[in-house]
Chains A and B, each alone.
Chain A
Amino acid sequence: MGTYLVGALNGLAMGSLLFAIALGLSLVFGMMDVLNLAHGAVYLLGAYVAVALLPDGVGLGVFVLAVLAAAAAGAVLGGALAAMTRAIPHHLDQALLTLGVALVVAELLSLVFGNDVHSIAAPAAVGGGVAVFGGTYPVYRLLVIGFGIVLAVAVYLLVERSRLGTVIRATVADRAMVAALGVNTGRVLAGVFAAGAALAAVGGVLAGPILGAQPGLDEKVLLLALVVVVIGGLGSIRGALLGALLIGQVQALGTTLLPQYASFLIFAAMALVLLLRPAGLLPPRTAVRA
């Protein structure tokens, strides 16, 4: 029993990270139809920021600093991607452009950090374990779960309760109409793009002590994030949360129960969702057209 509960906790931690990563991908796609294939590279950038700034046994202060540095780097890269994709009208060209950026960023990171697998230590203060279900469980992972909860609440308040959030949801529904009401949607979109990329990079730091950093991780994470977004519904924030929690659990329980089929299970889950609900579990509603 304890094994499964530990697996469920691992799934929650993974779900928290996936939510942080998939949120930007989903919103950018929902608002401007840009499939940002560089999103995984932004994540990896964050992970290497952690490699560079976090030697073993650092204090919490330095860790928070690394999170902020990754957020800044992610926001800059996201803003640049927003500006580049805006100048290009066609979807396929945009996808190719972001794929190109992804390859360039990954190659640069591999030049700087080499092709070794880097492990990243959790901050010393939270590096231990606590007794959970008769075993010990890493405190750090519990903190990641806490981060996921705080993020979900913060995003809910921003998107559902603030005027900016209202404008963001309206832009997902009908961008041209929002512009006709005097809102510079280009700036809103660039802001969401940058914020989403910042979150992905933060995800890279936070996932560091769990997943480490190595070449190729960007593609794995991008694929997982895409699965989350497809399951949840493109452009849907609640969908991204639900999809991230589901995939986190499927992956964790799969690893516990059927280790050899774990990665297969994730795509089986996606296929099942697509068969039953082709638009995803919680697709965003679009504009009313009479």
Chain B
Amino acid sequence: MTDLLAVAGLRGGYAGTTVLDGVDLTVAEGSVMALLGRNGAGKSTFVHTVMGMLKPYGGSVRIGGRELAGSPAHVVARHGVAIVPQGRRVFAPLTVEENLRVAARGAGGPWTPARIYEVLPGLAARRTHRGDQLSGGEQQMLAIGRALLRNPRLLLLDEPSDGLAPTVVDRIAELLEGLRDEGMTALLVEQDLHLATRLADEIAVMQKGRIVHRTSTDAFRRDRPLAQTLLGVGTQPSGPGGDRS
């Protein structure tokens, strides 16, 4: 399998502070990579920098072999990357339909608004409701639908379970499993270990702005002490809040 995403020596952060301190990470075409790490490790900063929403200080971001480090977000998006950002960032004053309309432009492919409504019937029922009238779960569905309408080659998911009830998380997991089985390539940042191991083929762990460990999901599952050392699982409450960086 070829690498759809290949990041090398990526450095970045906000306003001069260094959050990413030389990140190396590849995601193979058709696979799902989960990126784990404690709060403040730099996971969200990494996702934003790959998407072009933050300018890197240095390093390389290749998507399908094309160097895109430092390109603005709309250029990265046009090369087939879509993001489901932390906190959803649904357009509050726009209806569900309008939220989708912003994304559906020129990007041909299997995902059309009609298919989004078919896969997410909950959204179809709320078509004319504004973004700020939706529940958290509905907003997350809309954020995922909006990203899918870009017909992306690479989907970046930043904490899709954050702040949602377990039953809603389960529905989102089913949706993402369906996408994975269709061959979607994705990078998933997730605090919820269950969800991460349920969806991902591989796990990478980030610490202080670097990837410190990478393994298959099966190997990760078997190695409990590793998860404890790297992530502090069990010593730190998991739940809403999350990595805001």
Give chain A's interface residues, CB within 8 Å of chain B.
Answer: 163, 166-167, 169-170, 172-174, 176-186, 284-290
Contacts and interface: CB of A to CB of B under 8 A. Distances in A.
B85 interface: yes
B66 interface: no
B77 interface: yes
A170 B102 contact: yes
A182 B78 contact: yes
B200 to A, nearest CB: 23
A177 B85 contact: yes
A288 B139 contact: yes
Given A166-B98, A179-B53, A180-B85, A288 B146 contact: no
Nearest to A165: B98
Interface of B: 51-53, 72-74, 76-78, 82-83, 85, 87-94, 98-99, 101-103, 105-107, 130-132, 134, 136, 139, 146, 150, 162-163
Contacts, number: 97
B24 to A, nearest CB: 24
A166 B52 CA distance: 23
B94 A170 contact: yes
B141 to A, nearest CB: 13
29 contacts: A166-B94, A167-B102, A169-B94, A170-B94, A170-B99, A170-B102, A173-B93, A173-B94, A176-B53, A177-B89, A177-B91, A179-B72, A180-B51, A180-B85, A181-B82, A181-B102, A181-B103, A181-B150, A182-B103, A182-B105, A182-B150, A184-B74, A185-B74, A186-B72, A285-B93, A286-B92, A287-B90, A287-B92, A288-B134
Most B Cβ at <10 Å: residue of A170, A182, A290? A182
Given A166-B98, A177-B85, A288-B132, A182 B90 contact: no
A284 B131 CA distance: 13
B77 A288 contact: no
A286 B74 CA distance: 20
Nearest to B162: A290
B90 A180 contact: no
Contacts of B98: 166, 169-170
Contacts of A179: 52-53, 72-74, 77
A288 B78 contact: no
Contacts of A186: 72
B89 A174 contact: yes
A284 B93 contact: yes
A183 B88 contact: no
Contacts of B136: 290
A186 B71 CA distance: 13
